[in-house]
Structures are given as structure tokens and as C-alpha cells.
Amino acid sequence: MPITRIDFVQLFDIDLGRKRRIPDVRGLLASESSSPAYERYVSSFEWLFEAQSTPANKVARDEDPTKLVLSQEVHCPYSLDRFDRLALVGDNRDKNDRGGVITISQSLKAAMVCIWRQYEGASDLDPLKIRHSGSADIPKHYLKQLSGIFDYISEGSMMYPFISVRYSSSDLEEVINQNAVFLGTLVSGGFDHEPDETMRRYVTDNLSWRRYEGLFLRSMSGMGVYTSGTEQTEVADVDLYENTFFRAVQVCELCLLEQRLLRTYRTQANNDAKKVRIIPRFLMVEKRREELLVLEDDLINALPFWSLESTRLVRKAQEIFNIPMFLRDAKDSYNFLESRNQNTKTTALGAVAIAAYVLDKLGVWTAIGHSLLTSFNNWRALN
């Protein structure tokens, strides 16, 4: 059962939490540009979530008050609420480069860069070698495009690899059984030199319900295994294959963004806790509370799922990426911040009460009252 095609996607996590203002990328990247990677993001997004939309114009609402149209406030409405997407042009000197995508949120201060490489037609393709070829750094060709947006992105050091292999066979179960050790090595990277039995276990928990897809995710890497012949024509089969594995890529991207935002939030909340040891800061605490609600509700609990399949797939992936744990840690950090702020407030009020009592015993308030009364009487006498 030969492998007919390999696709390698790299997801680069960019933390923008330290920046005071995030620019609108629509004015800094060529919005008319496109790439195969961008087109696949668009075509597969609604396999998972509903697109960003707004109420239609008055004429359309009069006919149907429930009618919605795609949002014009973002370049790409096929992205999660509060996020936008633009294409990154591939390197035309590299025949395997299929371009990239940047997914970014100005309000949440987070971004993800996706780069897609495609390999096909050669009998000597080595998926493990291709997986190991992925650099931990964003390639210079893409950094050049991003330099107009970010002057400093050292936080973009995390790289998540997702590799997809397509077999000529149409029997997924047979493919996985016969290649279990190899596929387990591929998804794990093989760096730990684990025994064959461990490698087989890596490909026993298939997250996908589709008969032509084996989807195996880990918190540090992902892999999709696909068979051929599902559709009647090769063109339709390839189209199905690419949309399916890019659906999986976007599941990983979502979990990585959730991780990034929750980690950044926890760091900020812990830093803020140091600022309220002497003076309470109620506005700052309230701001953190609202931010946590946005993260929990909009990006974790109330995602605009498109189908039962997408709901199950995302929830399973969130468990693998430890999103519930990251959320608990973020909540713990906020609770500590709020508790410390309350303690500081109580201490400050106590100090004020003690000071007022001491000043009263010293007769300071009486003296101040007498002085104010004298000044008032003098003012009345002059007027």
C-alpha cells in the first residue's frame, strides 16, 4: 500500500500579549492576495463552525427578518469571532510550498501562522524525514511578509507539526493495522525510541468518525491518515482529502490559540496580583474578570459549532490539549488576584479607620473643624 501524497503543515504560535496595540493587518498585508492554504482554510471552515455574519440590509430583512449575510467587518468571515485571516504568499522558488495563512485577533492579542507544504508523485517519499525537516522557526520568506505587521515576534517560537499521509488503498483499517508501528513513530516523532507496542498504542484512538480518515492528535503533534477512492473521480477525492485534513488542522489551531490565550491571561493575572499588595485596583480586577469571561464563553464553551461531528471532535481535542486544565489555572490566577485585591482593600480601610481614630483622640478633627468655622465666619464678615 504505497503512500501517494504527504502534506506537512506547521502552526506557529505568536504571543502578542505584551504589545499595547495590535495593527489592523488588512492595511498591512495585500488583502487581494491568496494562496492554496488560504483557500483550503475558507472551504473547510464551515465543516466546523458557522462563519461570522451580520443582519442583512433592510430590504432583505423585510422579506425575511432572520436573513444573515457574511460580515464585512473582517477580511475573512470564515474565521472565529474576534479573529480575522489573511493569506501569506508561498515561495515560488519552492515547488512544495503551498502558501500560508495568518489568523489574528486585535482584541485578544494572539495570532497563528500556518504554512503548508505538499509532496506527491515520488516513490521514495519519506514521511518521517519530512516531519523532521520542519524548522522550529518561521521561514525567512514568511517573516519578510510579517515584518510589516510585527517589528518584534520573539514569542513566536512554538511550532506545532501536523503531517498528513494519503494511501492508494481504500481500506483504512488495513492501512493502520499493517503500518501501526510506522504511523505511531510518525505521530510521535520517534525521538524517544519507544518500543513497538507503544508506537501501536499511539494509533489506537482515532478521533475521526469518517471511514476514510484516521485522526491522531497529541498535544505536541498531529497526524492524519487517509485512504483513496471515496469519491467517484480523483479530482473530487483530492478535494475531499484536502478539506478533511485542513478541518483537522483548524481544530489543532483552535486548541493552540486557546492554550496561548489562557497562558497569557494567567501570566498577566499573576503579574497584576503583585500590583495590588499595597493599593487596591478595582478597575484592573474587573477588566481581568471580563477577559476571562470572554475566553471561557466565546472561545471554549460557546463555540459556534456547525455539526455534531465538529462538536465531538473539538471537545476531544480540547481534552488532549489540556484546555480544561489551562482554564482552571487561569481561573485560579484570577481568584488569587481578586482575593488579594479584597485583602488589600480591607487592610487599607482598616488603616484608614485606625488613622481616623488616632487623629480624633489627638483632637485633630476638632482643630480642623474650628479652623474651618473661623474661616467661614471671616468670609461672611468680609462679604
pLDDT in tens, the chain (383 residues): 688 999 999 999 887 776 667 777 777 676 667 889 999 999 999 999 999 887 766 666 666 666 677 788 888 899 999 899 999 998 888 889 999 999 988 888 888 999 999 998 666 778 888 888 878 788 888 888 887 777 666 555 578 999 999 999 988 999 999 989 998 988 888 777 888 888 888 888 899 999 999 999 998 889 999 999 888 899 999 999 999 999 999 999 999 999 999 998 899 888 888 887 777 778 888 888 898 998 888 888 889 998 899 999 999 999 999 999 999 999 999 888 888 877 776 766 666 667 666 766 777 667 777 777 677 677 777 76
Task: Answer for the pair 75, 85: CB distance below 8 angstroms, yes or no.
Answer: yes
What is this structure's pTM?
0.85
| pLDDT score at 65 | 67
Please, are residues 15 and 157 in contact by the beta-carbon 8 Å criterion? no
Q: Percentage of the chain with pLDDT > 90?
A: 35
Give the residue among 250, 329, 255 at the shortest CA–CA distance from 299.
255
- Kindly state the DSSP code that residue 279 receives in the 8-state scheme: S
> What are the Cα distances from residue 272, in Å, to 279, 280, 282, 305?
12, 11, 11, 34
Cα–Cα distance for residue pair 219/39, rounded to 1 Å: 26
Strand partners, 226: 166, 213
**pLDDT of res. 60:** 63
Cβ 262 vs Cβ 327: under 8 Å:
yes
Q: Give kind and range of the element (H or E) at residue 264.
A: helix 234-275
Cell reading at 300: 471554549
What is the predicted pLDDT for the residue at 383? Answer: 64
Signed CA dihedral, 305, 308, 311, 317: sign only: negative
Instruction: Give the whole-angstrom CA distance, residue 364 versus residue 281.
Output: 30
Beta pairing class for 221-226 and 158-167: parallel
